[in-house]
Structure 1
Amino acid sequence: MREDVAGHAAPAPLGATLPGPADRKPSEIPSRTQSVSAFLLGRASVGPPLLRRSSLCALPRLSHISARVLLFVCGLVTVAIGPAAADDSKEVKEVVKKLQARYEQTRDLKADFKQSTKIEGFATPITSRGRMYIKKPGRLRWDYLDPAVEEIYVNENEVMMYVPEHKQVLVGKLTQMAASQAPLQLLQGVAKLEEQFALEPTAGGKRGEGGVPLVTLLPKDTEPDSVRTVARIVLEVQPKTFFIKTLSIHEISGNVSTFEFNNLKPNTGLKNALFDFETPAGVEVVKAPALSPP
C-alpha cells in the first residue's frame, strides 16, 4: 500500500480491494476511516466512502442512527428527555434544554473540528482535521483539510462527496439511501431525536468543562441488529454557549469516534454559494445506485 506525503496510508483507487483489519498494520488503515460521508453511508468505521465499488453498494444501507448523529452535530434536530431520565438528573434536563434553545436560535454555523477514531484491535488512533459549515434549512458542507482533502456537500435531498486526489465525485440523494425514514426531514429540522434515543446522565456522573454533566444518548431498538452499529453517543457541551463541544460515537464493534469542535461562529450570514459544488473539469461523476434496502 502506498503512502501519502504525511506518512498516512493513501486511499486505494476506486475498485481496489483493501485488506481487512487483521491484515493491516495501524499505519495502513485509511486516514479518513470515520468520515462524515461514512455516516451518510451508514458505515461509521469502514474505509473511505467513494474509493471502492463495494462502498457504493452500501449506500442504501444508510443508517438512521448515523444520519441522526450527523444532524445532531449540525443542530438541526431537537431532543427531549423522558420522565425517567429527568428524575435521574435535573442537571441533564437543564443542559439539554439550553443546548436545544441554542441551536434553535442558530441560522447558520461554521466551526473547526478535530476527529479521532480508535479502531478495536489497534493501539494508534486515526486523526484528521477540517471545517464544517451549516445553514438552515438543510445545507451542510464538511471539509477535511488534513491529512488529505475531502469535501462533502448536502443540499436538502442532494449529497455530493468529492475526493480531489482521485478526481471523482459521488452523487446521490438522501431519499434513495433511506430505508424507512427520510433524513431530509432531519435536515429540515422537523424530526425529534426523542423517538429514537433514550437520554440519560453519563455513567459515573462524568462532567466536562465547567463542571457541566456529560449526556449519553442510547439508541432505541428501532432498527434490526443487521444494520444497527451505534451503542451510545456521549455529548459534552460548552458551559457558556451550550454549543456541542465534543461528540463521541461508541459502536457495537468497540470502535470509538470522537469529534471536537472549536472556533464556533454562529449566524455570520453564510452565503448559499458556499454550499454549491461545481464539478471541476476532468472529474468523474459517480452516481449512487438506487438499490432497494436489504
Structure 2
Amino acid sequence: MIRGLLLLLLLTAVPALPAQQPAPPSAKVIAARVDHHYNALHSLKVGFTQDYSGMGMNVKERGTLLLKKPGRMRWDYAQPAGKLFLLDGHNGYFYAPGQSEAQKVPAKKLDDIRSPLSLLLGHTNLEKELTGLTMAEVNGQYLLRGVPRGMENRVRVLEITAAADGAILRMRIEETDGAVNSFVFQGEQPNAPAPDAAFVFHAPDGVNVVDGMPPV
C-alpha cells in the first residue's frame, strides 16, 4: 500500500504537459474562407475609406459601396459629396461634382486596380487569381498577399486583410510605379437591398456622357 501511495504521489507531482497550440491556418485556408464568404452573397453594402497616393496626388475619400451580382457596383462618395463611380455590368461611369462631362468606359476595359472589389462580383477563387499567395496572422486578422494573375507588369502586390470569417476588412494595391490605392471597409451588410435601378446611370442636368479613360 505504501508503494502504491508513493507511486500515486509521484504521478500527481509530474506537471501536466502544456496543450499543443493549433497550427495557424494556411494561406489556402484563409483564401477559401474569403471565397466562401463572398461567393455565397447576392449583394453587399459596405462603408469605405479610400486613400490614394501616386501621380503627384495624395487623396483621401470615403463613401458607401453597393455590389450586386453579376457584375454591378456603385461607389457613392460622401467625401467629396456627389462623386460617383457606377458599373452596370456593361459599362463603367465616372462623375465628379462640378464637371460638365461624365466618363463612360466599357467594363472590359476596366482593370481590377480601378475597381478593387470587382473580383468579388463573380465566383472568386483567390488561390488561383493571385500568384505567389502568402498569409500572415496579425492580431487575430489574416493578411493575404499576392499578385493578380496577368497583371504582374502593373501590380507589385495586392494585400487583403480578412477577418476569421472571411470578411474583407482592408485592401491595398501597390503598383509597379509606386502608386498605392488602399481601402478600409466597415459596417458590411451581406445581401443588402440592391434594386436594379441603383445601377443605372443618370447624368445630372447639363452633363454630357462621353467616352473616357478609367478613373483613378
Name the TM tier (shorter chain). 0.7 to 0.9
Partners of 2:31 and 2:179 lie apart in 1 by: 26
Q: Contact 1:212 / 1:237 at 8 angstroms: preserved in 2? A: yes
Structure 2 runs not aligned, ≥5 long: 1-23
Q: State the partner residue of 1:215.
A: 144
The percentage of counterpart residues that share the same residue type is 26
Partners of 1:186 and 1:214 lie apart in 2 by: 17
Query: Following superposition, which runs of at least 4 residues in structure 1 exceed 3 angstroms of deviation?
Result: 118-122, 185-188, 190-196
Q: State the partner residue of 2:32.
A: 97
- The letter of the residue matching 1:216 is R
Q: Contact 2:83 / 2:97 at 8 angstroms: preserved in 1? A: yes
Q: Contact 1:156 / 1:188 at 8 angstroms: preserved in 2? A: no
Trace 1:231-270 onto structure 2 (pairs within 5 A): 231-239=156-164, 241-270=165-194
Q: State the partner residue of 1:114.
A: 49
* Aligned-pair CA distance for 1:148: 4.5
Q: Contact 2:68 / 2:121 at 8 angstroms: preserved in 1? A: no
Q: Contact 1:151 / 1:162 at 8 angstroms: preserved in 2? A: yes
Partners of 2:27 and 2:120 lie apart in 1 by: 25
Q: Give the TM-score, by structure 1 length.
A: 0.55
Say whether 1:157 aligns with 2:90: yes
Partners of 2:166 and 2:97 lie apart in 1 by: 35
Aligned residue among 139, 155, 180 for 1:230:
155
Mark the CA change 1:178 to 1:233 in structure 2 (over 3 Å): closer, same or farther: closer
Relative contact order: is structure 1 or structure 2 higher (C-alpha 8 Å, sep ≥ 6)? Answer: 2
- The letter of the residue matching 1:232 is V
Trace 1:1-294 onto structure 2 (pairs within 5 A): 90-119=25-54, 125-175=58-108, 177=109, 189=122, 192=125, 194=127, 196-202=129-135, 205=136, 207-209=137-139, 211-220=140-149, 222=150, 228-239=153-164, 241-288=165-212
Q: Contact 1:216 / 1:235 at 8 angstroms: preserved in 2? A: yes
* Aligned-pair CA distance for 1:90: 4.3
SS of match in other structure, 2:50 = strand
SS of match in other structure, 1:214 = strand
Q: State the partner residue of 1:19.
A: none
Q: Deviations over 1:119-178 (max 9, x none)?
A: 4888xx531111110011111101222134311111111221122311321123224x37
Please tell me the root mean square deviation across aligned C-alpha atoms, in Å.
3.0
SS of match in other structure, 2:142 = coil
Q: Contact 1:247 / 1:259 at 8 angstroms: preserved in 2? A: yes
Q: Contact 2:39 / 2:120 at 8 angstroms: preserved in 1? A: no
Q: In proportion to residue count, which structure has more strand?
A: 2
* Aligned-pair CA distance for 1:201: 2.2
